[in-house]
C-alpha cells in the first residue's frame, strides 16, 4: 500500500490527510481516573471511550488500521509509569475470540500490544488464549459483565502488562488477571487505548487507576 497512490483520510471526520487530523486529535479527551479492575495492580488508559475516541477505537478495532495503531502506540506507551516499565519483562494482550479473529483477520489488541512493545523496546508474547464464548461486540452490558473464558498459555512472568483496546466494565481485564495470576504472575498491570468515562458522580478516583493527563501527540501521519 503506497501512501502516494492511496491518500489517507482522518478516521474521525474523513478529511484527506493524516489518519487523525489535528482538530480531531485535539478533541480526544485524556482518560479520567477509573476504578482498577479486580485482580489488577494498576490500570492505565489513553483516552475516553467517547466522541472522537469512539471513532478511533472503531478504526483500530474494525478496520484493521495498523497505521493509526502505530501512531497511537507511543502515546499509549507513555501512560505507563516508568517504574512499571522498568520491572515489566514482557507485554501481552487480551485475545479476541477465535471467531472474531478469523472474521477480521487480525486481533486488534495484539496489533496495539505489538506497537506498544516496539515503542517501549519490550518483547510481546502471546500468553493468553480465549476459550469458546460469544464475542464482546453486540453483547448486552449484563453479558459483558460476566467473566470471559481466558486461559494462560503456560507459565507467565512475575509482572506482566496486559493490553486491550477498550475498558468498559473491566470484566475482560479481570478475567485476564485471574488467568495470569493462576500461572505465576504476582503483579498485573492493565493498559488500554480507551476507557468508558466514569459517571460524573464517581469523582473518587483511586491512586493507581486508568488515568492519563498527558497531552496527546497523535496527529502525526
Site of interaction with Zn ion (CB under 5 A): 10, 12-13, 21, 24
**Closer by beta carbon to Zn ion, 10 or else 79:** 10
Rounded to the nearest whole angstrom, what is the least distance from the CB of residue 10 to Zn ion in the complex?
A: 3
Buried-state track 117-149, b at ≥16 Cβ within 10 A, e below 16: bebbebebbebbebeebeebeeeeeeebeeebe
Looking up cell 475516541 gives: 53
Are 6 and 200 spatial neighbours (Cβ–Cβ below 8 Å)? no
**Closer by beta carbon to Zn ion, 21 or else 189:** 21
**195: which 3 cell numbers?**
476507557
Looking up cell 505489538 gives: 114
Q: Which helix (H) or strand (E) holds 167?
A: strand 159-167
* Cα torsion 51, 108, 145, 194: sign: negative
Rounded to the nearest whole angstrom, what is the least distance from the CB of residue 21 to Zn ion in the complex?
A: 3
**Closer by beta carbon to Zn ion, 61 or else 114:** 61
Residues 127 and 135: their CA atoms lie apart, in Å, by 19
**Closer by beta carbon to Zn ion, 69 or else 163:** 69
Rounded to the nearest whole angstrom, what is the least distance from the CB of residue 49 to Zn ion in the complex?
A: 18
Rounded to the nearest whole angstrom, what is the least distance from the CB of residue 109 to Zn ion in the complex?
A: 24
**Closer by beta carbon to Zn ion, 193 or else 210:** 193
Rounded to the nearest whole angstrom, what is the least distance from the CB of residue 31 to Zn ion in the complex?
A: 20
**Taking the mean position of all CA atoms in its chain, how far away is CA 51?**
17
Amino acid at each position: 500500500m503506497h501512501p502516494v497512490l492511496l491518500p489517507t483520510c482522518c478516521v474521525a471526520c474523513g478529511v484527506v490527510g493524516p489518519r487523525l487530523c489535528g482538530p480531531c486529535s485535539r478533541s480526544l479527551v485524556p482518560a479520567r481516573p477509573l476504578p482498577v479492575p479486580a485482580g489488577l495492580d494498576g490500570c492505565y488508559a489513553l483516552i475516553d471511550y467517547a466522541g472522537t475516541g469512539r471513532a478511533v477505537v472503531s478504526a483500530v478495532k474494525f478496520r484493521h488500521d495498523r497505521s493509526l495503531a502505530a501512531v497511537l502506540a507511543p502515546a499509549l506507551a507513555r501512560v505507563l509509569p516508568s517504574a512499571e516499565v522498568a520491572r515489566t519483562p514482557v507485554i501481552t494482550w487480551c485475545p479476541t475470540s477465535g471467531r472474531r479473529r478469523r472474521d477480521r483477520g487480525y486481533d486488534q489488541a495484539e496489533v496495539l500490544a505489538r506497537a506498544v512493545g516496539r515503542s517501549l523496546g519490550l518483547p510481546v508474547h502471546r500468553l493468553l488464549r480465549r476459550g469458546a464464548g460469544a464475542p464482546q461486540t453486540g453483547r448486552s452490558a449484563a453479558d459483558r459483565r460476566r467473566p470471559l473464558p481466558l486461559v494462560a498459555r503456560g507459565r507467565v512472568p512475575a509482572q506482566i502488562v496486559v493490553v486491550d483496546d477498550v475498558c468498559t466494565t473491566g470484566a475482560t481485564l479481570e478475567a485476564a488477571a485471574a488467568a495470569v495470576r493462576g500461572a505465576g504472575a504476582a503483579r498485573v498491570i492493565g493498559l488500554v487505548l480507551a476507557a468508558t468515562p466514569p459517571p460524573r458522580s464517581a469523582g473518587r478516583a483511586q491512586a493507581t487507576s486508568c488515568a492519563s493527563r498527558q497531552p496527546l501527540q497523535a496527529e502525526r501521519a
